Amino acid sequence: MAATTTSAGGQASASAHTAPHAAYRGAVATLVLANTLWAGTYVAGKLALRDLSPIELNAARFTIAALLLAPVLIRHRHEIPRDRATLFTLARLILLGWVLNKLFEYVGLALSTASDVALLISTESLFFAVISWLVLRERVTRAGVWALALGLAGAYLIVERGLAPSLGGPGGGARILGDLLVVLSLLFEAGYSAGGKAALAQLPPLLLLAVTITGSLVIWIPAGLIAVVRAGPPHLAPAGWLSLLYMAAISGVAGYWLWFRALRSMDGSAAAPTLFIQPLLGAALGIWLLHDAISWATLAGAALILLSILLVVRAQRRVAPISPASSMSAVTSESIP
């Protein structure tokens, strides 16, 4: 009888020991899937921009995403603070993260390549670090300075496709202008991330996403209607419709739902390395599906950017684990790519 009891106790102990490991492995797999879905956004955006202007694309995708997130907004509407300071913060986040950021990002994508944008977007964490130093008065670290220098050097190589400035090469001046607009969009995105750290103390991440996306429609719906009146109704090919739905439902709502679900089982600092999937796979998809041109400078720039992100991740792990809420504000995207 004692032996049976001991055996049962051992089995229960083993089950209790393996359960957290199984949950952790499942969370890692979920994070990999979320970043894989996000990586497809840049190719999908490039395909959709064949039939839609950047304003029409953003108006359509955020309208669809807001409809999908409506149940979250309706169910948790009473959790949204109504004081003037919080409403002002939300308005600022909407303007920075979902209007100015997405306007410049997708005008830039229309002029540039999917692979360039996928790699450049990953430098957002560097701009976020600068704003944290200057605005939030966070401590400047040696690793942070090195990460910023390497990331900016990598971005330069990707934009210029070489050591010396040049307007030649694939896409010429239009591609360079597009890349620079994407870099400019990251400044607005970093401002959104910095402000989002405070907002996440009051709102759950998915509710904040629903509030800010829905709020952006105050700008995007009128802008989209004006664009349609001026240029006529767009005619989307099947690839354009699929790309639009992918960006709104799959990489947007589903990607973030998977991300937040996984962060219930692990810290943001442990999840951060999976973000490397997004720029690497995003660039690879652009080269494979859209035949984006690639050069030694593109590869060298990508390596420098990834090295800079690695420095940031390692520095964060040495300081303190990142909570699920704060990790959302530092995601390279961040919001929906």
- The H or E element containing residue 226 is helix 205-231
Helix (H, G, I), strand (E, B) or coil at 315: helix
* End-to-end Cα distance, the chain: 60
| Residue 236 to residue 50: CA distance in whole angstroms | 9
Percent of the chain with pLDDT over 90: 34
DSSP state of 165: -
The 10s digit of each residue's pLDDT in 278-330 is: 888 888 999 999 998 888 888 888 888 888 877 766 665 555 444 444 444 44
Which amino acid, residue 51? D
CA 90, 203, 60 angle in degrees (round to 5)? Answer: 55
Say whether pLDDT at 118 is over 80.
yes
pLDDT band at 268 (very low <50, low <70, confident <90, very high): low
Residue range 10-55, pLDDT digits in tens? 554 544 455 566 777 888 888 889 889 989 999 999 999 999 999 9
SS3 265: coil
